[in-house]
Structure 1
Amino acid sequence: MCGIYGTTIRYKKQEVETKLNRISFRGPDKMGVSQLESDDNLVTLGHNRLAIIDLDPRSNQPFTYNENIHIVFNGEIYNYLDLKKSLGSKGYSFKTTSDTEVMCAAYMEYGEKCVDYFNGMFAFVIYDKKKQILFGARDRMGKKPFYYYINGRDFEFASQISAIQLFNKNLSISQKSINNYLSWGTIPDPDTIFNEVKKLKAGYSFVYDLKSGSYNQKPYWDLDYKGTNLYKGSYEDAKNELESILSDAVKIRLFADVPVGIFLSGGVDSSLVAAMATKATNEKVKTFSVKFDTKGFDESAYAQKVAQHLQTDHHVIECNYNEGIDLISNLCEFYDEPFADSSAVPSLLLSKHTKKHVTVALSGDGGDESFLGYHRYNWMRYVQKAYGLPDFARNILVNGLNIIPYYKSKVIANVLNNKNINDAYLGMMVNTKNHLLVNTPDLSDLEERKYLYHENKNIYERISDFDLKTYLNWDINTKVDRASMAFSLETRAPLLDYRVVEFSRSIPTDFKFNKNNQKRILKDILYKHVPKEFFDRPKSGFTMPFKVWFRNELKDYVLSELSDEGLKTIPGIKIPEVKATIHEHMDGTANKYPTIWALLVLKQWLSKNAAGLEIK
C-alpha cells in the first residue's frame, strides 16, 4: 500500500516532491521520483512506499524492469507467487521477492490482459518506453483509488486528489458534484469535487498514448448482473465451496513481511475473518476493536467475547472524545474531497491505534453487500409487498403515513411514493427530492442504474449488485482506504476477493437470505468456528454518537459553523430549509445528524480549498 503519482507536465522535480510530500502518510518508508525523457516526451513517476513485501530497497519504486518497463503501483497482488512460478517457466527472471516485479513481467507476457491474472487490490501505471504509452488499471472492486487529470497533452494521475491539486491552476469546483455529495454523502465515480479531475472506475484499465495525447479506457471485469452464471449445486455444496474460497482468501492476505492483525467488531463478517485467520496460522492473531463511552454505541463487549473464544491477542481502543474532535477538524486533510460517512472518524481512530501494533489489518468489508446483510434488504421485503398493491391502495397507505406526526413515517411515505420499486430503492440510497438543494441531482445518466433497472434478477439480487457498484465502492472503500492510509496502515478485505464476490452473485438468493435470516450461508460457516449464541442480537452499524453530541457537547460548534454567514459559503443550498433542519435536530423533533454532518464536512472543505476557485 502506497501513494503513486505521475505526470507528463514538466513540473520541476522539487514540485513533484512537494506533491508526494502532501500524501506522504500513504507511504512514509521511502519517496522515489524518476524523470524519464524520450522522443521529446517527459514522463515523471513518483512513489511513496509503505514497505509490506520484500522490505529491501531493491523493491523501491518507481521500479524498472528490463530497461523499458517502468511502474508505480499501490496495493497488493495476493497470487503473485503463483504468477511468478508460471512466468518463470516461460523464461522470465526476477531479482526481487516483490509482487511489483512480477506485475512487470506479467505485462510483458500478457500485455493489457495482465490484469485478468491479478488477484488483489491495486492501482498502477506502467510506462512502456518502447510503445510510448502509459498503461494503468484499478482493481475489480475499487479498493485502491486512482485520480487523473487530462488537459490536451497534459496528463497527471495520483492516489489522492490533493497531489494533483498542488500547482495546478486550471481547476474549478463542480456544483454538480456538490449537489451529488449532499445527496449521496460522497461523490460518485467517475466525478470528483473538481470538474477537471476524474476517478478511474473500478475494474477499468486505460491507455494514454504519449505521441497523440489520446486517452482510452475500458472495463476488463464486471459483475454478472444479467444472471447468466447460476450455481447448480445444493446448499451444503455451496457452503463447503464458499468456505474453501474464504479460507484461501484469508490465507493469502495474511502473507506479509510485517506484522498483521484483524479488525474485529464482533459482527458476523469480521468474526468470520478472524476465525479463518486463526485457523490459517500457528501464530497468535492480533485483533482490534473500538470502544465508545456513549450509551448505545459501545459494542466492544461482543468483540471481546469472540476474541476470547478464538484466543486472539485482543486490543480494545477507547474512542476518546477530544481525540475524535481533533480528527474531525482535520478530516479533509486525509479525504481530500467532501465525504460524509461519519464512521470515517472511528475508522481513523481505529487505524491510528492499530498501527501501533501492526502494519497490515484484515477487515470484514463486503459481507453485507454480497450476502444481503443490511437492514434495508430486509425492509425491501415490505416495500415489495407495498408495490404489489394496486396504485389506489398504495396511495391510501402513503397518505396515511404522511398524516402520522412521526418523521420516520414520512420517510417511508416518501419511499413508497415512487412509481416503481427500483425508484424506491434509489430513493432510499440518494434523496432525489432533497428539499435543501436549489437543484436536485439528475440521476438519469447514472451508469450504475443498469445494475438495478432490469428484470434479469429478483429485487434483492439487483440491489445487492447496485450496492456493490455504488455504496461499497464510493463510500466503504473510500472510507477505509483514507482512514487506514492516514496512519500508514494497510487494510485487506478477504470478502472482497473477486472469487468470493463472483460466487455470491451465482448462488440462489435463499442461500443468502432465507425468511428473516440474512447472510445465512456466511453465518452457517461462522457457526462452525464460533458459537451461534454470540450473534443472537440485532445488527448494528459502525457509527459515531453525533446524534447526541450535536445536541450537547458539539451544539455550539454546529451553530457557529452553520450560522447564517457560514451557510452562505455553501453554494446551491436553500438556507431557510437548512436552518429549519438544524432546528428540528436540536429540539429533538427528528434525528438530522447525517445532514448536519454532511454540511459541516462540506463547509470545512470549502473553507480550506475554495479560495480563488470558480464554482461552476
Structure 2
Amino acid sequence: MCGIYGTTIRYELNQIKDKLKRTSFRGPDKMGFESYNYNDSNIIFGHNRLSIIDLDPRSNQPLSYQEHIKIVFNGEIYNFRELKTDLVQKGYTFNTTSDTEVICAAYLEYGEKCVNKLNGMFAFVIYDMKKQIFFGARDRLGQKPFYYFHDEKRFEFASQVSSIQLYHKELSVSSKAIHKYLSWDYVPDTDSIFNEVKKLKAGHYFTFNLKSGSFVSNQYWDIDYKNVNKFQGSYNQAIEELEELATKAVKRRLFADVPVGVFLSGGIDSSLIAALATKTTNEKINTFSVKFNEKGFDESIYAKQVADHIKTNHHVIECNYNEGIDLIENFSHYYDEPFADPSAIPSMLLSKYTKQHVTVALSGDGGDESFIGYHRYNWVKYINNIYKAPKALRLFGATFLNSLPYYKFKMIADVIKNKSASDAYLSILYHPDSNLYENSFDDNYAFDELKYLFHNNKNIYERVSDFDIKTYLNMDINTKVDRATMAYSLEARAPLMDYTIVDFARSLPTNFKFQKNNQKRILKDVLYKHVPKEIFDRPKAGFTMPFKEWFKNDLKEFILDELNEKSLKLIPGINAGEVTKTINNHMDGTSNNYTIIWKILVLKQWINKNGSGFSIK
C-alpha cells in the first residue's frame, strides 16, 4: 500500500518533492522518484512506499524491469505467487520477492490483458520505454484511487488529488462537482472536485501515448448485471462453495512480511473474516474495535463476545469528542476532496490505534452490498409492494403523509411519489435538499452507473445491490477506508471484495441471500459454522458517530462558530439563511439534521484549506 505519482509536466525539483511529501502518510517508509528523458522533456515517476511485502530496499519504487519497463504501483496482488510460478515457467526471471515485478512480467507476457490475471486491489502505471506509452489500471472494485490530469501531451497522475493540485496553476474548482457532492455526499467518478482532474473508473485500464498525447481507457471487468451466469446448485452446496471462496480470500490476505490484524465490529461480516482468519493461521490474531460512551453507539460488547469465542487478542479503542474534534479539524488534509460519510471519523480513529499494533488489517467491507445486508434493502421490499398499488392511490397517500407534521412521514411521501421502485430507491440515496442550495445548480443526478439500476434483467433487490456495488461501495466505502487507513500508514484488505466472491454472489438466487427478512442469509449460515448464532440475535448496527448528540452538546460552539451565516455565504451554491435555520432546528431539537451539518462543515473546511487560489467554474 503506497502513494503513486507521475507527470510529463515540467516542475522544479523541490516542487516534485513537495508533491510527494503532500501524501507521504500513504507511504512513510521510502519516498523516491526518478526522471526519464523523453525528447526535450522529462518524465517523472514518484512513489511513497509503505513496506508490506519484501521489505528489502530492492523492492523500492519506481522499479525497473528488463531496463525498458518502469512502474509505480499502489496496492497488493494477492495471487502474485501463483502468477510468478507461471511466468517463471515461461522464462521470466525475478530479482525480488515482491508483487511489483510480477505485474511488469505479466504486462510483457499478456499485454493489456494482464489485468485480467490480477487478483488484488491496485492502481499502477507502467512506462514502456520501447512503445513510448504509459499503461495503467485500477482494480475491479475501485479499492485503490487513481486521479489524472490530461491535456494534449501533458499528463499527471496521483493516488490523491492534492498531489496534482499542488503547483498546478490551470485547475479550477468544479461547481458541478460541488453540487454532486451536496447530493451524494461524495464526488462520483469520473469527476473530481477540480474540472480538469478526473478519476479512472474502477475495472478500467488506460493507455497514454507520449507521442500523440492520446488517452484511451477500456473496461476489463464488470458485474453480471445482465443476469447471464446463474448458480445451478443447492443452497447447501452454495454454503460450502462460499465458505471455500471466503477462506481462500482470507488466507491470501493474511500473507505479509509485517504484522496483520482484523477490524472486528461484532457484526456478521467482520466476525466471519475474523473467524476464518483464526482457522487459517497458527498465530493468534489481533482484533480491533471502537467503543463510544454514548448510549446506542457502543457495539464493542458484541465484538468482545466474538473475540472471546474465537480466542483473538482483542483491543477496544475508546472514542470521545476531544479526540473526535481533532480528527474533524484535520479531516480535509487526508480526505482531500469533500467527503461526507460520517463513519470516516471512527474509521480514522480505529486506524490510528490499530497501526500501533499491526501494519495490515482485514475488514468485512463488501458483505452488505453483495449479500443484501443494508437496512434500506428492507425498504425496497415495502417500496416494491407500494408500487403494485394504482398510481392514484399512491399519490393520495403521499398527499396525506405530507400533511402530517412528522418529518419522516414527509420523507416517505417523497419516496412513493416516484414513478417506479427504481426511482424511489434512487431518491433514498440521492438527497439534494434543494431548499438549502441556490437555484443556479441543475437538479441532475444522471451518471453512467444508472444502467445497473434501470433495466429489467433482474428483480429490484438484485438491481439495487448491483447499483450499490458500482456506486456506494466503490465511491463511498472504498474512499472512506482508503483515506482513513492511509492517513496512519495502515493497509486495509477486504476479503469479501475478492472479485471471485462478488461474482459468486451475483450468480446466487435472491432467496439464498435475502429470505423472509433474513438478510445476508447465506453469509450468516457460513458464519454460524464458526461462531454461535445467539451472539448475533440483535438488530444490525451501522458504523457511525454520535454526531447528533455531539453537535447539540460538546461540539455546539465549534459548529456555530465554523458555520455562522457570514462564513456560509462564502460557500458556492449554499443558501446561507436556510442552512442557518437547519442548524438552529437541530440545536433546539426540532429535527435531526446532523448529516446536513456534517456535509456543509466538510465542504466549508475543504474550501478554507484548498479553495484559495482556484477559481470556481
Q: How much is the aligned-residue C-alpha RMSD, in angstroms?
A: 1.0
Provide Cα deviations, 1:208-255, integer angstroms capped at 9, x if missing partner: 000011111111111111101111111111111111000000000000
Structure 1 residues not aligned, in runs of 5+: none
- The residue correspondences of 1:150-165 to structure 2 (distance < 5 A) are 150-165=150-165
Return the offset for 1:527. 0.2
Tell me whether 421-430 or 252-261 shows the greater mean CA deviation: 421-430
Provide Cα deviations, 1:391-441, integer angstroms capped at 9, x if missing partner: 111112112211221111111111111111111111101115632122455
Q: Is the 8 A contact 2:565 2:577 kept in 1?
A: no
Provide Cα deviations, 1:516-554, integer angstroms capped at 9, x if missing partner: 100000000000000001000000101100101111111
Counterpart of 1:352 in structure 2 is: 352
Counterpart of 2:475 in structure 1 is: 474
Counterpart secondary structure, 1:470 = helix
Counterpart of 1:216 in structure 2 is: 216
Name the TM-score, length of structure 2 as normaliser. Answer: 0.99
Counterpart of 1:416 in structure 2 is: 416
Instruction: Output the CA distance in 1 between the equivalents of 2:449 and 2:523.
Output: 27
Instruction: Output the CA distance in 1 between the equivalents of 2:194 and 2:75.
Output: 25
Q: Which amino acid is the alignment partner of residue 150 of structure 1?
A: H
Q: Is the 8 A contact 1:309 1:530 kept in 2?
A: yes
Instruction: Output the CA distance in 1 between the equivalents of 2:447 and 2:433.
Output: 16
Q: Is the 8 A contact 2:365 2:497 kept in 1?
A: yes
Provide Cα deviations, 1:61-93, integer angstroms capped at 9, x if missing partner: 000000000000000000000000000000000
Q: Is the 8 A contact 2:182 2:432 kept in 1?
A: no
Instruction: Output the CA distance in 2 between the equivalents of 1:268 and 1:482.
Output: 24
Instruction: Output the CA distance in 1 between the equivalents of 2:402 and 2:413.
Output: 6
Q: Is the 8 A contact 2:415 2:427 kept in 1?
A: yes
Return the offset for 1:587. 1.7
Matched, 1:268 2:268: yes
Instruction: Output the CA distance in 2 between the equivalents of 1:418 and 1:580.
Output: 28
Counterpart of 1:491 in structure 2 is: 492
Q: Is the 8 A contact 1:432 1:441 kept in 2?
A: no
Instruction: Output the CA distance in 1 between the equivalents of 2:508 and 2:443.
Output: 34
Matched, 1:22 2:14: no
Q: Is the 8 A contact 2:422 2:454 kept in 1?
A: yes
Instruction: Output the CA distance in 2 between the equivalents of 1:307 and 1:382.
Output: 36
Q: Which amino acid is the alignment partner of residue 540 of structure 2?
A: K
Q: Is the 8 A contact 2:264 2:287 kept in 1?
A: yes
- The residue correspondences of 1:83-122 to structure 2 (distance < 5 A) are 83-122=83-122
Counterpart secondary structure, 2:315 = strand
Return the offset for 1:19. 0.5
- The residue correspondences of 1:187-206 to structure 2 (distance < 5 A) are 187-206=187-206
- The residue correspondences of 1:511-590 to structure 2 (distance < 5 A) are 511-590=512-591
Q: Is the 8 A contact 2:183 2:433 kept in 1?
A: no
Return the offset for 1:612. 2.5
Instruction: Output the CA distance in 2 between the equivalents of 1:515 and 1:115.
Output: 40
Q: Which amino acid is the alignment partner of residue 495 of structure 1?
A: L
Q: Is the 8 A contact 2:20 2:48 kept in 1?
A: yes
Instruction: Output the CA distance in 2 between the equivalents of 1:338 and 1:431.
Output: 16
Provide Cα deviations, 1:250-280, integer angstroms capped at 9, x if missing partner: 0000000000000000000000000010000
Q: Is the 8 A contact 1:2 1:50 kept in 2?
A: yes
Q: Is the 8 A contact 1:550 1:558 kept in 2?
A: yes
Provide Cα deviations, 1:288-317, integer angstroms capped at 9, x if missing partner: 000001111111000000000000000001
Counterpart secondary structure, 1:21 = helix
Return the offset for 1:39. 3.5
Counterpart secondary structure, 2:616 = coil
Q: Is the 8 A contact 2:180 2:445 kept in 1?
A: no
- The residue correspondences of 1:37-56 to structure 2 (distance < 5 A) are 37-56=37-56
What is the identity percentage for the equivalent residue pairs of Structure 1 and Structure 2?
65
Q: Which amino acid is the alignment partner of residue 608 of structure 1?
A: K
Counterpart of 1:376 in structure 2 is: 376
Counterpart of 2:306 in structure 1 is: 306
- The residue correspondences of 1:412-451 to structure 2 (distance < 5 A) are 412-432=412-432, 434-439=434-439, 440-443=441-444, 445-451=446-452
Q: Which amino acid is the alignment partner of residue 258 of structure 2?
A: V
Provide Cα deviations, 1:165-222, integer angstroms capped at 9, x if missing partner: 1110001011111111111000000101100101101001000000011111111111
Q: Is the 8 A contact 1:125 1:136 kept in 2?
A: yes
Counterpart of 1:129 in structure 2 is: 129
Instruction: Output the CA distance in 1 between the equivalents of 2:71 and 2:400.
Output: 61
Provide Cα deviations, 1:455-486, integer angstroms capped at 9, x if missing partner: 00000000000000101111100000000000
Name the TM-score, length of structure 1 as normaliser. Answer: 0.99
Provide Cα deviations, 1:575-616, integer angstroms capped at 9, x if missing partner: 222122112211212111000000001000101111222111
- The residue correspondences of 1:177-192 to structure 2 (distance < 5 A) are 177-192=177-192
Return the offset for 1:443. 3.8
Return the offset for 1:442. 4.5
Counterpart secondary structure, 1:126 = strand
Instruction: Output the CA distance in 2 between the equivalents of 1:115 and 1:331.
Output: 33
Q: Is the 8 A contact 1:41 1:210 kept in 2?
A: no
Q: Which amino acid is the alignment partner of residue 418 of structure 2?
A: N
Instruction: Output the CA distance in 1 between the equivalents of 2:524 and 2:202.
Output: 28
Q: Is the 8 A contact 1:180 1:441 kept in 2?
A: no
Instruction: Output the CA distance in 2 between the equivalents of 1:231 and 1:367.
Output: 18
Provide Cα deviations, 1:367-402, integer angstroms capped at 9, x if missing partner: 000000000001111111111100111112112211
Q: Which amino acid is the alignment partner of residue 502 of structure 1?
A: D
Provide Cα deviations, 1:26-77, integer angstroms capped at 9, x if missing partner: 0000011110113345211000000000000000000000000000000000
Q: Which amino acid is the alignment partner of residue 585 of structure 1?
A: H
Instruction: Output the CA distance in 1 between the equivalents of 2:255 and 2:442.
Output: 44
Q: Is the 8 A contact 1:92 1:105 kept in 2?
A: yes
Q: Which amino acid is the alignment partner of residue 598 of structure 2?
A: W
Matched, 1:149 2:112: no
- The residue correspondences of 1:389-408 to structure 2 (distance < 5 A) are 389-408=389-408
Counterpart of 2:505 in structure 1 is: 504
Tell me whether 131-140 or 409-418 shows the greater mean CA deviation: 409-418
Instruction: Output the CA distance in 2 between the equivalents of 1:91 and 1:472.
Output: 39
Provide Cα deviations, 1:318-358, integer angstroms capped at 9, x if missing partner: 11321111010000000001110111111010000000000
Instruction: Output the CA distance in 1 between the equivalents of 2:391 and 2:577.
Output: 34
CA distance 1:175–1:149, shift in 2 (3 Å): same
Counterpart secondary structure, 1:501 = helix
Return the offset for 1:444. 5.9
Q: Is the 8 A contact 2:4 2:74 kept in 1?
A: yes
Instruction: Output the CA distance in 1 between the equivalents of 2:23 and 2:97.
Output: 26
Counterpart secondary structure, 2:130 = coil
Counterpart secondary structure, 2:173 = coil
Instruction: Output the CA distance in 2 between the equivalents of 1:420 and 1:585.
Output: 32
Instruction: Output the CA distance in 2 between the equivalents of 1:39 and 1:579.
Output: 56
Q: Is the 8 A contact 1:2 1:74 kept in 2?
A: yes
Tell me whether 346-355 or 429-438 shows the greater mean CA deviation: 429-438
Instruction: Output the CA distance in 1 between the equivalents of 2:25 and 2:286.
Output: 23
Counterpart secondary structure, 1:314 = strand
Counterpart of 2:611 in structure 1 is: 610
Aligned residues: 616
Q: Is the 8 A contact 1:289 1:303 kept in 2?
A: yes
